[in-house]
Structure 1
Amino acid sequence: MPTSNQPEPVSERFIDLSRARRIWAVAAVHGDAERLSALHDAIGARFEGGDRLIYLGDLLGGGDVRATLSEALRFRRSVLALPPLYLPEDIVYLRGRQEEMWHKLLQIHFAPKPKDLLHWMLERGVDATLRSYGGDPDQGFAAANEGMVALTRWTGRLKAAMQAVPGHHAWFSALRRYAHSGPGGVLFVHAGLDPARALADQRDAFWWESGAFARAASGFEGFARIVRGFDPAGGGWSEDGAILTIDAGCGKGGPLVAVCLAPDGSLLDRLEA
Structure 2
Amino acid sequence: MLERLLARPAPASPPSDREVRRKLDIGVDPMRAYAVGDVHGCIDKLRRLEEAIVADAAEQPSSKLLVYLGDYIDRGPGSAAVIEHLMAPPPDGFSRVCLCGNHEEVLIDVVDGRRSLDDWLRLGGERTLRSYGYDLTYMAKHRRGGGGDRTGEILSALPERHIAFLRQLPSVLSTPSFVFVHAGLRPGAPLAEQRDEDLLWIREPFLTEGAPELGRLVVHGHTPAEEPVAQRGRIGVDTGAYMGGPLTAVRLAEGTMAFLQTR
- Answer yes or no: same fold by TM over 0.5: yes
Aligned to 1:271: 260
What CA deviation, in whole Å up to 9, does each residue of 1:143-188 have, x standing for no partner?
xx95xx8267436624xx412xxx6345324411011112xx1111
Q: After superposition, what is the alpha-carbon deviation per residue over 1:208-259, rounded to whole angstroms, capped at 9, x for unaligned? A: 2122222443614222x11112215x46421222111111111111001111
Give the CA deviation at 1:134: 4.5
1:76-98 deviation line (CA, Å, top 9, x unaligned):
3433xx3xxx6xxx310010122
Question: Is 1:208 matched up with 2:205?
Answer: no
Larger mean Cα displacement after TM superposition, 129-138 or 17-26:
129-138
3-state SS of paired residue (2:214): coil
2:118: which partner in 1?
Answer: 119
CA distances 1:36-85 after superposition (whole Å, capped 9, x unpaired): 111111111122311111001112122111222333345x3433xx3xxx
CA RMSD between the two structures? 2.9
Which residue number corresponds to residue 60 of structure 1? Answer: 73
Q: Tell me whether 1:219 sits opposite 2:208 in the alignment.
A: no
Deviates more, 1:200-209 or 1:23-32: 200-209
AA aligned opposite 1:207: L
Aligned with 2:245: secondary structure? Answer: coil
What is the CA–CA distance in structure 1 between the aligned matches of 2:28 and 2:168, rounded to whole Å? Answer: 19
Mapping 1:103-182, distance limit 5 Å: 103-108=108-113, 111=114, 117-135=116-134, 150=149, 153-154=152-153, 157-158=156-157, 161-163=158-160, 168-169=162-163, 171-182=165-176
**Which amino acid is 2:201 matched to?**
W
Please report the TM-score for the alignment, with normalisation by the length of structure 1: 0.74
What's the counterpart of residue 235 of structure 2? 244
Please, what TM-score do these two structures have when normalized by structure 2?
0.77
Report if the CA contact (8 A) 1:216-1:243 is conserved: no
Instruction: Work out whether 1:69 is the aligned partner of 2:83.
Output: yes
Q: Which amino acid counterpart does residue 189 of structure 1 have in structure 2? A: V
1:253 corresponds to 2:244? yes
The one-letter amino acid of 2:228's match is: W
Partner of 2:8: none
CA contact (8 A) 1:226 1:244 kept: yes
Residue 212 of structure 1 aligns with an amino acid whose one-letter code is P
User: Which residue matches 1:45?
Assistant: 55
Q: Is 2:14 the partner of 1:14?
A: no
Structure 2 residue matching 1:71: 3-state secondary structure: helix
Taking a change above 3 Å as real, the CA distance of residues 105 and 131 of structure 1, as seen in their structure-2 partners, is farther
Q: What runs of 5+ residues in structure 2 fail to find an aligned partner?
A: 1-15
Gaps of 5+ in 1: none
1:95 and 2:94 matched: no
Change (3 A) 1:156 1:137: closer
Closer/same/farther in 2, CA of residues 261 and 105 from structure 1, 3 Å limit: same
Size of the alignment, in residue pairs? Answer: 237
Moved over 4 A (4+): 4-7, 134-140
Choose between structure 1 and 2: higher helix proportion: 1
Asked whether the 8 Å contact 1:13–1:177 carries over to 2, the reply is yes
Distance 2:189 2:211 in 1: 15
